[in-house]
Amino acid sequence: MSEIRIDALLPQEMATRAEYVGVRKAETPALTTFALSILAGAFIGLGSVFATTVAAGSSALPFGVAKLLTGLVFCLGLILVVVGGAELFTGNNLIVMAWASGKVTLRALLRNWGIVYVGNFIGSFGTALMVFWSQQYTFGGGAVGETALKIASSKVGLGFGQALALGVLCNALVCLAVWLTFSARSTIDKIAAIIFPVTAFVAAGFEHSIANMYFIPYGLLIKAFDPAFALEHGLDISNLTWGAFLADNLLPVTIGNIIGGAVLVAAVYWSIFLRRKAE
């Protein structure tokens, strides 16, 4: 009988595993990567649907408690990505560890990021379309849609520097969550590793580029195809436009996510555990 180990991997072993995973991701055929990235976008979108729905019913709770609940249910997205198997741009910032070791070329790294980013957008936006068509935003007497519009409007209202900083903080936590899953030997281990970092970034109000590919387009769809809804609920969403989404949120948040994941997590752990081996 083969030995079954239940102890977690140590950080040095986690770094080697992260390096191996990075190489495997970079070498995956483009079509497979693209399909898995669409799935990941949809998974994050589903987590966002869950979070929006829970946030819509939490207005009577203290601010921190409401944010805690919202963050907890949003974890669904990354759990589906990690356990179900999918390609998420923010988590794939950790491929930098394999690149820094010389096991992945810069071209392969950027190829992966480009394919996955586009696929994530398609998956997230497709989920937003499906949820809009379902008219789920009308549930709870319109509370879900009102919350969705408030979320989208607040995100495009951030300043460039603020959005960038919130993106840095967000993906530091997301990549730490993925990093911790490299210590796991079971599905339960992976889920447990994900919950607290992801709950923390959502509760704290940090910005995730792929989640925003759902949150903001969902609000834009409601505004465009049911303009009476915002008026009925007394919401001013004049700042909610496609231009604001792309320039004022998605661009700075994406840059911040790369800094937080690729630099603050991947580069730091590589320099600690893998640099000498690569020399």
Q: Is residue 5 part of a domain?
A: no
The CA-atom distances, in angstroms, between 251 and each of 155, 160, 198, 256 are 12, 9, 21, 9
Model confidence at 1: pLDDT above 60: no
User: Whole-angstrom Cα distance, residue 250 to residue 241?
Assistant: 12
Q: Is-contact 171 211, C-beta < 8 A?
A: no
Report the Cα–Cα distance between both ends of the chain, in Å, rounded: 39
Amino acid, res. 239:
N
Residue 48 counted as domain residue = yes
Residue 275 is predicted with a pLDDT of 87
pLDDT in tens, 165-187: 999 999 999 999 999 999 999 99
pLDDT of residue 7: 73
Residue 35, domain extent: 11-278
Q: In Å, what is the CA distance from 110 to each residue of 95, 116, 169?
A: 10, 10, 22
SS3 content of the chain, % helix, strand, coil (to 5): 80, 0, 20
**Domain assignment of residue 197, yes or no:** yes
- In whole angstroms, give the CA distance from residue 112 to residue 237: 35
pLDDT of residue 60: 85
Q: Supply the CATH number for residue 70's domain.
A: 1.20.1080.10
Whether 87 is covered by a domain: the verdict is yes
Whole-number percent of the chain with pLDDT over 70: 97
Residue 1 lies in a domain: no
What pTM, to 2 d.p., does this model score?
Answer: 0.95
The angle, 0 to 180 degrees and rounded to 10, between the axes of the packed helices 63-84 and 187-204 is 140
> Phi-psi category of 201—alpha, beta or left, where left has phi over 0 and alpha has psi -120 to 50?
alpha
DSSP one-letter string for 74-125: HHHHHHHHHHHT---TTGGGGGHHHHHTTSS-HHHHHHHHHHHHHHHHHHHH
3 in a structural domain: no
Task: Return the C-alpha torsion angle 214, 267, 94, 10, nearest 10.
Answer: -130
Q: Who wins on pLDDT, 60 or 159?
A: 159
Mean pLDDT of 2-21: 83
What's the confidence (pLDDT) of residue 278? 59
DSSP annotation of 279 reads -
In a domain, 22, yes or no: yes
Average pLDDT, the chain: 95
Summarize pLDDT for 127-153 with one digit per residue, the tens.
999 999 999 999 999 999 999 999 999
Residue 127 lies in a domain: yes
d(CA 258, CA 278): 23
When pLDDT is averaged across residues 32-47 and rounded to a whole number, the result is 98
DSSP letter assigned to residue 239: T
Provide the domain count of the chain: 1
